[in-house]
Structure 1
Amino acid sequence: MIAKTIRTCFPIAAAAVSDKAEEINKLNVFPVPDGDTGTNMSLTLASVTKELSALPADADMEAIAGAITHGSLMGARGNSGVITSQILRGVAEGLVSADEPITSANIAYAFRRAVKVAFQAVRKPIEGTILTVLRDVSTKADECERKKFSAEDALDAIVVEAYQSVARTPDLLPVLKENGVVDSGAFGFAIFLENFVAAALGRSTVVEDFSATFDSAGSARDAALNRVEIEANDDWEGSEFRYCNEFLFKADAPFDEDECLKFLGSMGDCELLVGAYPDYKIHVHSNTPNLVLEHMLQLGQIYEVFIHNMEMEAHDRTAKIHEDQEKAAEPAKALGFVAVAAGSGEADILKSLGVDVIVSGGQTMNPSTADLLGAVDQVNATSVIILPNNGNIRMAAEAAA
């Protein structure tokens, strides 16, 4: 039952984070304002969803935990994605021996395990981040266990605590308060948790049903959102390291992981080395990614290397925020248009005819409902007409409507 619930609910919660990825990105000012937390968390969760879908229908909780651990490790992107992978691993491992049906004691144990695994992965935990929210959620789960809450009430309570903890993050991390935001990774974690719980408890829509069933959850979410007054942060001076360096690593032989972490720390900051011999995920912010790669090549093989220029990403984030602010200042027109186009030529024609936003797609490359909704959100209009331009896209357009 627990295994089936996870397989059903995980993709729903992952999709919710994906839908909110851009909003989460705009909150991202720590450890650097590169605006990629939502994207990285979404990609990490998508990797788990893919791995879970490949399991046989009768897979047990041990197999589920293995898929979550492996999928999140292989797909972890960025600082937030790697930490999220360790939270998921801890919760999954904690549920392997859970009772059927699950109890508040099982939930508390799973989150205690997640705290242990996630905090072990981070050499210098910072208060006011996703780790703080995880710890607060675990403490609330322990309280629910002591009070002998039902599993449903315990799940409701930890979602409320997650959002309340998110709302407190600016009071713990000065850079968040300076920029008028809550922590982006913490917010993404709360969104995932809320949607997972809503799906597990059979609530069709989080915003309506969840708030009605457990009203303080909606209030807690609103309190977190009310702490957000996103500012365009153009200041890169506080960021000493320019490149986000992350890759998968297969060790040739057992090596000293502590010494490796010390080396990564000497190359930059936000260093993470997670996994178990022989497979690891490595992440570090550094000005010399070449030296990081050269060192690790002496110990084994590297693959799926991603090197991001965080300074450029930060400027892109700032530009998007300025663009959104300019749009918000403009009065909304009565009617806007979103259209699906298969190529640049068709897109140019549609734009010349007054279409506001073009979604790339067509036969055999159908955009999703989320893609269309995202396009609608970009149009500053009271009403928006979607032109799917393909019979296969019509259902997605109707679902968006």
Structure 2
Amino acid sequence: MPQTLDAAAVRDWCRLSLAALGQAREEIDALNVYPVPDGDTGTNLYLTVESAVGQVEALFGDGAATAPTLEATLRAMAHGALLGARGNSGVILSQLLRGVAASVGSGPCDADALRRALRSAADAGYEAVAVPVEGTVLTVAAAAADAVAGLPEAAPLAAVAEVAFEAAGAALALTPQQLDVLGRAGVVDAGGRGLVAVLGALADAVNGQSPMGPLALATPRAVVLPPAESPLLLTQDPTGPAYEVVYLLDARDEAVPQLRARLGALGDSLVVSGGEGLWNVHVHVDDPGAAVEVGIEAGRPHRIRITHFAAAAADASGEAHADEPYAGRLSPTRAVVSVVQGEGLAGLCRECGATVLPADPDRAPSSAELAAAIRLAHAREVVLLLNDAELRAAAGVAADQLRGEGVRVAVIPTRSPVQGLAALAVHEPARRFDEDVVAMTTAAGATRYAELALAEGESWTMAGVCQAGDVLGLIDGDVAVIGSPEEMTVTATTVLDRMLAAGGEMVTLIVGEDAEPGLADALVTHLRRTNPVVDAVVYEGGQGAAPLVVGVE
């Protein structure tokens, strides 16, 4: 267990935070009643952290000459969050992360440094909000900082992170008593719930939990989902501002105080985060043009987003917009978008009529890339095949966005490309949309999947301890077989036999670029000898992540 937080642990923190927010996104959206009940806090936090992950992953890319430092990684995390901050909650979270980065500096980040960083984050959050309100994410951040300040000096780093998480959860439980609008709706603060997930991910990263450990996924005891008929979730305050205005601003630091004063006079929910010449501005106003003009006078606003709350509420409730410009350009046909690795697999999907989003084996596509692929299909009805379990959260965000643009999107959470091919095989555009989705989902669900992977390092698995370079046989996502690097065919044969022990009529083998020569032929020969009634089909997939993917129907 590390005694300091290093760059690799910060990278894990980013990844775990994104995964935790992805799982909790819809829950957090449902909790969102303050400051505006527009049901998007979870989505905004997810997009904010997704941007942070992108900046951090760029530091660790193949082109990096040396491993990034802790300071550079924290700054990239904060800068990415600032660039991608969405909504009130996202802008505040970006400021909290900026406070952490500014406090830690060049490190090292030991237990004492983490205590100071959490205090710096809470202070930075309060500083960014023009009119701080208790019972919000600010209160949760302050409670975490207060709790760790009272720990003994000898407390280890892991204890500091875990106490911060527990204290944040306890503070979240009290938010309905501090903010009337939460109490009337019977919910905790949505932004605070998101921060609890981020702090849980921090504790998991410090504890070396990878993949995602228990804290990042924990649902605090305080969470109470609101009833669907809650008027707070379905109506806007008629006396409140009509627009949300968000933009990035290139401006001198000394210009910001006047900017805050002028925007504060125009509206409410004002948050200005950032520094060193780059700021993220968020405000609710009735005159969005005036809010942008104030930014122009202070510096150079860009990435301007103006949202009319009434329209956003209609999107959240599923109401269609008759004058939706994007929907007006769509073909009436149905399309399938498939996310795949490898040119061979991509060609198979295209032959079946799918629009293909090529996936990088080292980087999962973002929600923005998934949304762009759906738009590229130019159809009013789109079925999205993920072929990777880790894409569900990003796909949910992308689908929600396109539904707001007038596109009917169904996400089939296929976990492997063989499930995606099975779904494509029964796709029938002439059927009703719902019937087609059910048929494709049923076909995917009836396909068991397995794959071979190469271990990157020593690790505990369900099949025992593996070493770097070992061949791992995964069945339905779990490691079932561990083989030596020289015995890839033996490992693949064992995996295939275990899968067929439960029965099967058709075996699909998709060969990757790192497969052992003759692997597929050896498996087909073995299959004909041991299971002559089972058919087999072999494709050259060209995928880089898995030397072999197996499907059994």
Indicate yes or no: 2:236 matched with 1:236: yes
1:85 aligns with 2:94: yes
Q: Secondary structure at the match of 2:221?
A: helix
1:71 equivalent among 58, 65, 80:
80
For the pair 1:21 / 2:28, whether they are aligned, the reply is no
Report the structure number with the largest CA radius of gyration.
Answer: 2
Residue type at the aligned position of 1:387: A
Between Structure 1 and Structure 2, which shows a larger proportion of helix residues?
Answer: 1
Structure 2 partner of 1:338: none
Aligned to 2:173, which of 130, 151, 167? 167
Q: Offset of 1:287 from its aligned partner?
A: 1.1
Q: Structure 1, residues 87-106: CA drift from partner, whole Å, max 9, x if none?
A: 11111222225446x22x22
Q: Distance in 2 between matches of 1:29 and 1:290?
A: 26
Say whether residues 1:151 and 2:157 are aligned partners: yes
Superposition pairs of residues 188-199 of structure 1, within 5 angstroms: 188-199=194-205
Residue in 1 aligned with 2:16?
Answer: 12
The answer to whether residue 285 in structure 2 is matched with residue 296 in structure 1 is no
Aligned to 2:284: 285
Residues 229-238 or 13-22, more deviating: 229-238
Shift of 1:206: 5.9
Q: Structure 1: where are the runs of 5+ without partners?
A: 212-216, 321-342, 348-359
Q: What is residue 131 of structure 1 aligned with on the other side?
A: 138
Q: Tell whether the 8 Å contact from 1:83 to 1:121 is kept in structure 2 after alignment.
A: yes
Q: Which residue of 1 aligns with 2:7?
A: 3
Which residue of the other structure, out of 179, 182, 186, is the alignment partner of 1:176?
182
1:345 matched to 2:334:
yes
Q: In 1, are the aligned partners of 2:158 and 2:206 still within 8 Å (CA)? A: no
After TM superposition, list the pairs within 5 Å mapping 1:361-376 onto structure 2. 362=356, 364=358, 367=386, 368-372=388-392, 375=411
Contact 1:40/1:77 (CA < 8 Å) preserved in 2? yes
Flag the structure with higher strand content. 2
Name the structure 2 match of 1:351: none
> Residues of 2 paired with 1:99 and 1:302: CA distance?
36
Taking a change above 3 Å as real, the CA distance of residues 230 and 370 of structure 1, as seen in their structure-2 partners, is: farther
Post-superposition Cα deviations, 1:145-201, rounded to whole Å, max 9, x if no partner, equal x36322222222221111111111111111011112110000011112112312331
CA distance in 1, matches of 2:220, 2:125: 27
Task: Work out whether residues 26 and 317 of structure 1, in 8 Å CA contact, stay in contact via their aligned partners in 2.
Answer: no
TM-score by length of 2: 0.57
Displacement, 1:314?
2.9
Question: What secondary structure does 1:345 align onto?
Answer: strand
**What amino acid sits opposite 1:244 in the alignment?**
E
Distance in 2, Cα, partners of 1:180 & 1:314: 20
2:90 alignment partner AA: G
Deviations 1:247-278 (A, max 9, x none): 11123x66532221111012111112222243
Alignment of 1:40 with 2:44, yes or no, is: yes
> What displacement does 1:68 show?
2.2
Asked whether the 8 Å contact 1:167–1:224 carries over to 2, the reply is: yes
Aligned CA distance change for structure 1 residues 303 and 183 (closer, same or farther; 3 Å): same
Which whole-Å CA distance do the structure 2 matches of 1:124 and 1:84 have between them?
Answer: 16
Contact 1:47 1:74 in 2 (8 A): yes
Please tell me the residue identity of whatever aligns with 1:115.
Answer: A
Q: With structure 1 as the length reference, what TM-score do the two structures score?
A: 0.77
> Residue 203 of structure 1 contacts residue 210 of structure 1 at CA under 8 Å; is this kept in 2?
no
Distance 1:205 1:69, change over 3 A: closer
Provide the rounded CA distance (Å) in 1 between the counterparts of 2:222 and 2:282: 29
Change (3 A) 1:254 1:27: closer
Matched residue type, 1:75: G
Distance 1:390 1:361, change over 3 A: farther
Q: Could you tell me how far 1:202 is from its partner in structure 2?
A: 2.5
Letter of the 1:224 partner, please give it.
Answer: A
Q: Secondary structure at the match of 2:334?
A: helix
Match of 1:121 in 2: 128
Q: How many residues align?
A: 349
- 8 Å contact from structure 2 (residues 271, 283) kept in 1: yes
Indicate conservation of the 8 Å contact 1:255/1:299, yes or no: no
Counterpart contact for 2:31–2:226, Cα < 8 Å: no
Q: Residue in 1 aligned with 2:499?
A: none
Structure 1's 393 and 48: CA in aligned 2 closer, same or farther, altered over 3 A?
Answer: farther
Query: CA 1:386–1:262 in structure 2 vs 1: closer, same or farther (change >3 Å)?
Result: farther
Mark the CA change 1:298 to 1:234 in structure 2 (over 3 Å): closer, same or farther: same
Taking structure 1 as reference, are residues 134 and 239 closer, same or farther at Cα in structure 2, changes over 3 Å only?
Answer: farther
Structure 2: how far apart are the matches of 1:281 and 1:32? Answer: 19
RCO greater where, 1 or 2, for CA within 8 Å and sep 6 or more?
1
Aligned equivalents of 1:345, 1:397: Cα separation in 2: 33
**Displacement after TM superposition at 1:398 (Å):** 4.7
Whole-Å Cα distance in 2 between the matches of residues 185 and 376 of structure 1?
A: 29
Structure 1 SS opposite 2:150: helix
Structure 1 Cα separation of the partners of residues 311 and 446 of structure 2: 36
Aligned to 1:59: 68
Structure-2 residue corresponding to 1:337:
none
Q: List gaps (5 residues or longer) in structure 2.
A: 320-331, 337-353, 359-372, 374-384, 397-410, 414-433, 453-473, 479-553
Contact kept in structure 2, 1:247 and 1:303, CA below 8 Å: yes
